[in-house]
Structures are given as structure tokens and as C-alpha cells.
Amino acid sequence: MELKLPQTLHLGFPAGILNKFFCKELSKSFDPSLPNSSFCPETDRSQLYTIDIFEILDCLQSPDLQQQLDRGGCDIPVLLFGPDFSASRLLFHYDGSSNSADLIRNFISLFGNLIQESKATIISPSFIPKSKIREEQEIIQLVATSVKETSFIKFNFTGIGDFWSYGEKHNCSILVTSKLYQADLVEIFLQTYKGKEWSHPLSFYLSL
């Protein structure tokens, strides 16, 4: 898969609003708006893109951008960060797939230095195949050993909007989910925040 384009990325957002981070493990001083806050000169491959939610709200009005989003994203994680960014309350969306487990592992690896005192909630489907039970338990154990406090919930949420609503209701600061839900997430952006200011500190970590 091609990862670099001159003006835009496969994830659809204009390159000019992206911040690039190259550390495989972000430092405690990480600030999503300041690439130098976690600087690693030893690698030339981005490990994380960050975008200020305020900056993308206007971009999302473009029909061309919406069509690009429908085509899918690149394999580099993206953090859409809100005001007063924090990693204090994490919401992990585990959907029972190996890709979902991998993106949670990658988030833990990338943000490990920032989440040691965090609280985390893992939401899993009410039913998963027996073949996935071990993987689910491994994810629960990984998260539990990486943060200060962990809770695990079984819900049959039907869409990314359910996770969004849960995150806002319970004052979560980051929703960790798949880029497969990116188009649905953008639709909620457009429906909920068109012409309005962002009023909640919830940020979104999207990965394949």
C-alpha cells in the first residue's frame, strides 16, 4: 500500500494539518500539537499522525474529502485530538477481531509512558466465538497491567456512535477504535458539530 502522497494521505485529510511523530514509544512530555514534544531522530517512518479536531471540522464539509474517506485509510495510526488533550480515561473498542486486538496492543506500546496512571474501560461484544476468548482475555490482561485501573464490559453496541455516546457520558478522554469506522465517525462529526464548537475533550485514536 502506498503510504505517502504529495498533498493528501489515504486517510483523506490535507497534509498541511498533520503533525507527524516518529517515536515507537511516545515520551511522557507528548503533546499532540507539538511534534518536538516527543522527538526521535533515529527513524524516518512516522508512527503516528495527529490532527487537531478544530482544524478538521471545516475540512469535513468537502464532498471530495468525504469520498476519499470512504476509500479507506493508510496503516499509520491517527489521533484526532480535542481541547485539553489527556490520556487519563481510555475507552478501548474490542470487536472480537484480531485486527482490533492488534490495534489495542499497538496503542499500549505507543502510549505506554502516558497511561500508567490512567483508568481504562474495554468494551467487547456480548458474544464472541470460543476461538477468540483467549485473545480477549489476553487483551484484558495487557490493558490491566499497563494502566492503574481497568474495567471490562460486554455490550452489543451497533455502531461507533454508541461508543462515542458512552465515551462522552463517562468522561473518557480517548476512544481507541479501528479506521474501519472512520467514515461513520466523520458522519457523526458532520451531523453533531456542523457550525458548532467542539465542547467535549474526547479524542479519537484510529488505526487499522
Q: Supply the pLDDT for residue 69.
A: 54
> Residue type at 187?
E
Is residue 145 helix, strand or coil?
Answer: helix
pLDDT along the chain (208 residues), means of 10: 36 71 92 84 79 76 57 76 91 94 96 97 93 95 98 89 92 93 79 64 88
Contact 153, 136 (CB under 8 A): no
Q: Supply the pLDDT for residue 189.
A: 77
H or E element that contains 188:
helix 182-193
Q: Supply the pLDDT for residue 5.
A: 33
Q: Supply the pLDDT for residue 107.
A: 97
The domain 77-208 is placed in CATH, from the list 3.40.50, 1.20.1070, 3.30.70, 3.10.450, at 3.40.50
How many angstroms separate the CA atoms of 181 and 59, rounded?
A: 18
Residues 6+ apart with CB under 8 A from 15: 5, 6, 7, 8, 9
The C-alpha cell 484510529 sits at 206
State the pTM of this model.
Answer: 0.86
Q: Supply the pLDDT for residue 9.
A: 43
Residues 6+ apart with CB under 8 A from 69: 11, 12, 182, 183, 186
C-alpha cell recorded at residue 70:
470512504
